[in-house]
């Protein structure tokens, strides 16, 4: 298993501002994943962050809105840029376990409210 520390745990932000979420893993991992969970919705993958290369974004998500950094094998950041109330969600970082590289371990999440 992996221990993932994510911060901040929650924040209330003004529209038009940006928030950077940090994710620290206790072991080196090749791929880190960023998810969004909107109220009452499923976890939706935003992007995959690989160390040493640009993040790969899923359909509906773009780098300008959600820039990601991955400076080393244990750390990543996700920025939510130019926020609007529609960005109010829980944001989660995740890494995968060894079993079929599928089992996901999650940080505790960042609950973002945009006012």
Count of Cβ atoms closer than 10 Å to residue 6 Cβ = 21
59 lies in the binding site for another protein (CB under 8 A): no
107 lies in the binding site for another protein (CB under 8 A): yes
Distance CA 59, CA 114 (A): 23
6 lies in the binding site for another protein (CB under 8 A): yes
**CB neighbour list of residue 109: distance below 8 Å, 6 or more residues apart:** 6, 9, 37, 90, 91, 92
Please identify, among the stretches 14-22, 27-35, 65-73, 75-83, the one whose residues bind another protein according to the rule CB under 8 A.
Answer: 27-35
Q: Which position among 22, 48, 69, 81 is part of the footprint of another protein (CB under 8 A)?
A: 48
Q: Which position among 7, 11, 45, 75 is part of the footprint of another protein (CB under 8 A)?
A: 45
In 3D space, the residue among 111, 34, 92 whose CA is nearest the CA of residue 67 turns out to be 34
Binding site for another protein (CB under 8 A): 4, 6, 9, 30-31, 33, 40-45, 48, 92, 94, 96-97, 99-109, 111
């Amino acid at each position: 298993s992996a221990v993932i520390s994510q911060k901040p745990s929650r924040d209330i932000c003004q529209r038009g501002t940006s928030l950077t979420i940090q994710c620290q893993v206790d072991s080196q991992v090749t791929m880190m994943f960023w998810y969004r969970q909107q109220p009452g919705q499923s976890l939706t993958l935003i992007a995959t962050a690989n160390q040493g290369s640009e993040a790969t974004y899923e359909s509906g998500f773009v780098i300008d809105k959600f820039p990601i950094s991955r400076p080393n094998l244990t750390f990543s950041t996700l920025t939510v840029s130019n926020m609007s109330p529609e960005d109010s969600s829980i944001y989660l970082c995740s890494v995968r376990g060894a079993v079929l590289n599928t089992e996901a371990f999650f940080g505790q999440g960042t609950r973002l409210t945009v006012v």
